[in-house]
Amino acid sequence: MFTGIIEHVVSVKKLSLKAGGGELFLDFSGFYDDLTLGESIAINGTCLTIREISGQVIGFDVSGETLKKTTLGKLRYGENVNIERALRVGDRLGGHFVTGHVDGIGTVKGRKQSANQCTMSISVEKRLAGMLIEKGSVAIDGISLTIVDLTDVTFSVALIPYTLAATTLAFKKIGDQVNIEIDMMGKWIKKLLANTQEEKSGITKEQLIEQGFL
């Protein structure tokens, strides 16, 4: 479990893709001296497990499913990524509960800079937008942010100077892709509402299957 408060930005040393998955190596120089094998780290909002520690270079296995559902497979040598260590019991919860399980990929559609903030708009699949609410929380590349505006397939967030300085969002351009994790509360509410509607109909999906309609 994470909070969406990015701790550091580190660089990619190597990404090796192979059948069924890949290996990702990051340069953690100067940030931690107490990392352990098996520890969970959120990398651009994706929860990965440390499998190798070689000095300041940390290695992770990346599953094929993760490569398919996130932007990690497109990382390049020297590219910066957001990192956050797992939440410890008793830590301050400055953002919102983030699982590190990415729901989908969004695309930067616009950036509007003002004196004290940048407003970024993101396009997503309709199924994801349907679980978002204005002033609700969303994680973009692992960063806990608040939704400003929302349509059927886009939403916008306001980025304060600190967020731009402390994360990779400062470098995102129109057309770039980002990892999106919906607030778990939104996912649970959608599931409960879907179940309620199914019960009200008097006919369940299972019953339709049994009768040969599906």
Condensed to tens digits (0 to 9), the pLDDT of residues 116-149 reads 889 999 999 999 998 999 999 999 999 999 999 9
> Same CATH topology for 8-85 and 104-194?
yes
pLDDT band at 91 (very low <50, low <70, confident <90, very high): confident
pLDDT over 70, % of the chain: 89
pLDDT over 90, % of the chain: 75
SS3 content of the chain, % helix, strand, coil (to 5): 20, 40, 40
Residue ranges of the alpha helices (H) in 22-111?
64-69
Q: Three-state SS for 207?
A: helix
Per-residue pLDDT for 198 more than 70? Answer: no
Q: What is the pLDDT of residue 194?
A: 67
Sequence ranges of the domains in the chain: 8-85, 104-194
The rounded mean pLDDT for the chain is 91
Domain 104-194 has CATH 3.30.70.3000: no
Separation CA 212–CA 60 (nearest Å) = 46
Pick one of 3.30.43.10, 2.40.30.20, 3.40.50.2020, 2.30.30.140 as the CATH number of 8-85: 2.40.30.20
Q: What is the pLDDT of residue 202?
A: 60
Q: What is the pLDDT of residue 208?
A: 56
